[in-house]
Chains A and B, each alone.
Chain A
């Protein structure tokens, strides 16, 4: 059975790119050209669509315990999908334990936005 890609990206030039999995998202492999829209696969089977942003960012947060009953396992905690428009940012914080989604509307002074490695931003339209 084919696995549904984590995300499917459609570019302005009509081409598209399929992401990997939560374990191997392949976000950094996205071609460097303007993104028109992102269709993102959510943990409980639904899809999220982002369209019309100037920039996009995605990353996965994990924990690795050094001891205890889950030691050594990479535990998926959250996925973050972010869109930037002007000074405004919308963050979709997706719990990979429960599937719950928190939507955070914020600006460039947000603590998490300021922490991000700039290499992960992908240009939109």
Chain B
């Protein structure tokens, strides 16, 4: 069997790994209809899919005095498990280890990577949130947390093919391809620069690039 990957989010306690407390995680098994919402104040546990008006009313305000980290990431759960459409991702952007989980069921030839693109074509990164063509300026910051906490400073700005994170804590000099089934973790945040001149409601595509033999 070729190695496969599933994606989960922690919605209870970002201090516990999936292997010890699987009930704290939601599997995104309907990736076509589920999506992540980045918002300042949108409520957890909504009993309906948020409308465009609700998304706008709860959007993040760009500050003219300090960089702003978007306060919340919520899973929009189309299957509304438990009757709820929105589930707050616990620990997003904080110094927490077990937030976004990637379950691999086997060996890989190279270390899996997390990338961000404008669209599923994986060819451009021109949106403001991804640095408007300059990957190092991407507002989307990521940190591999498979073996350690992410820390509180700036993480890696990800966009395109050059700016990504490795998901198994490897480096160019010491890569960590998977030698068997393993759960990998990362944390994410969106940090808007101070007085950023172009407000926008944008979507972007997160993708995991991995290999099998």
Contact = CB atoms under 8 A, between A and B. Distances in A.
B175 interface: yes
B212 A66 contact: no
Interface of B is mostly: loop
Interface in A62-87: 62-72, 74-75, 77
Interface stretch (A32-40, A42-50, A53-61): A53-61
Interface residues of B, number: 36
B110 A59 contact: yes
Contacts, number: 101
A4 B107 CA distance: 25
Contacts of B169: none
A25 B213 contact: yes
A76 B208 CA distance: 12
A63 B122 contact: yes
Contacts of B35: 67, 71
Contacts of A115: 110-111, 175, 177
Given A23-B2, A68-B119, A70-B120, A58 B207 contact: no
B207 A117 contact: no
Interface of A: 23-25, 27-28, 57-72, 74-75, 77, 111-112, 114-117, 119-120
7 contacts: A25-B213, A61-B110, A62-B212, A63-B122, A67-B203, A69-B120, A117-B178
